[in-house]
Amino acid sequence: MTLYSRITGTGSYLPPRRLSNADLVAQLAAQGVESSDDWIVERTGIRARHFAADGVFSSDLALHACRHALEAAGVAASEIDLIIVATSTPDMVFPSTACILQHKLGAAGGAAFDVQAVCSGFVYALTVADAMIRTGAAHKALVVGAEIFSRILDFKDRTTCVLFGDGAGAVVLEASDTPGLLASDLHADGRHVGILCVPGHVAGGQVLGDPLLKMDGQAVFKLAVGLLESAAHSVLIKAGRTEADIDWLVPHQANIRIIQSTARKLKLSMDKVIVTVDQHGNTSAASIPLALDVAVRSGRIRPGDTLMLEGVGGGFTWGAVLLDL
C-alpha cells in the first residue's frame, strides 16, 4: 500500500498579553522612539500582536497549540511518534525545544527534533514529516511552529520592532492511504544571510555579536514576492494542479503588501487568502499554522479544500506546500 500523509487536526495558541499599535507606540515613546498607528498599518497591515510573559518559553506556547491540535484530531499524545518543532527562538541552546515539548506532553519514545528555517520553518518541517510518514519512519506526527520573537527585538529600531509577535501553531499529521500533502518545494540561498538575521552567539558564557534582529526590509520585500511566486508555481506543476484548483492561500504572515502581491501573481482574490497579520503580527515559523487553525476553527477552511501554504524567511529560505485537507 502506498503511504501518504494528511492533516487531521490543527491547533494554535497566543499568549494573553495583547499589544495594540497604540500600546506599542506608547511603550516606544517612553524610550524616545517615534512611531504611530497610521505608520504601522500603512506599511505592514499590522494592528496588534501578542507578547509572551517573562518565564514563558516557546515550548510552553507549543504545548497549548499541540493539545488543541491533538484534541481536534482525536489523538492521544502517547500515540505521537514524531515531533518536529520549527523555531528560531528555542528554549535553550540544547536540547531541542521538540524534546522539551515531548516531555511536557508525556509523549516519550518517538523522534523529536527542531528545524531552523526562520519564517519558512513550518513549511520545511511539514515537508520533512511528510517524507518520514511516506517512508514508514513515523505514523502520527506533531508539526509545530513556535516563536517568542519579542525577546530578540531591538525596541530602538522602529522599522523592525513593530513587525513581530509571539505565538504557536500545530498540526497533527497522520499516515493515510489517500493523498493529503500533494507536493512541496523548498529552497535556500545563503548569499542573502545579511538581509535578515540575528548576528549573535554564545561563547565562554557570554553573548558575542549582536543578539537582536536585523533586517533590510526593502531587500526582503523584493526577494520575497518573486521567490514565493516561483515556489507556488513549482508546487502546482509537481502536483499536476493549476491556480484555479487553490481554494485557499495560507501564506506566511509577514506583511500585508507581500501577501497581496503574492495573491495577485497567483491570480487569487483576497477573498481566498487567509490573513491574520493584522492581529498577530509576524510570528515567524508560527504564522502559517496559526493562520491555518484560525481559518479552520472559523469554518472558512473545510475538509476537502485544497490549500497552498508558503513562506519565506531568513537564510534566505523559502518554500511552499500544496495539500488537500
Strands 214-215 and 206-209 turn out to be unpaired
User: Cβ(97)–Cβ(116) under 8 Å?
Assistant: no
DSSP-based helix, strand, coil % in the chain, nearest 5? 40, 25, 30
Report the alpha-carbon distance of residue 47 to residue 162 in Å, rounded: 9
Q: Given 119, 161, 197, 280, which residue is catalytic?
A: 119
CA distances (Å), origin 176, targets 4, 8, 43, 68, 75: 5, 10, 43, 21, 14
For the record, the C-alpha cell of 314 comes out as 531568513
Other CB atoms within 10 Å distance of the CB of residue 193: 12
CB 323 within 8 A of CB 287: no
- d(C-alpha 96, C-alpha 6), whole Å: 25
Nearest of 209, 216, 164, 173 to residue 46 by alpha carbon: 164
Q: Which of 137, 145, 41, 28 is nearest to 87 (CA)?
A: 145
Angle, helices 287-297 vs 58-73, to 10°: value is 40
**Beta-ladder partners of 10:** 171
119 is catalytic: yes
In angstroms, rounded to a whole number, what is the distance separating the alpha carbons of residues 277 and 125?
21
- The reply to whether 66 belongs to the active site is no
Among residues 50, 66, 255, 282, which one is catalytic?
282
Distance of CA 139 to the CA centre of its chain: 23
Closest-CA residue to 36 (of 215, 158, 149, 164): 158
Q: Which of 50, 64, 68, 252 is catalytic?
A: 252
Mark whether 252 is an active-site residue.
yes
Q: Residue 240 has which C-alpha cell? A: 499536476
Residue 37 near residue 90 (C-beta atoms within 8 A): no
The residues assigned a catalytic role are 119, 252, 282
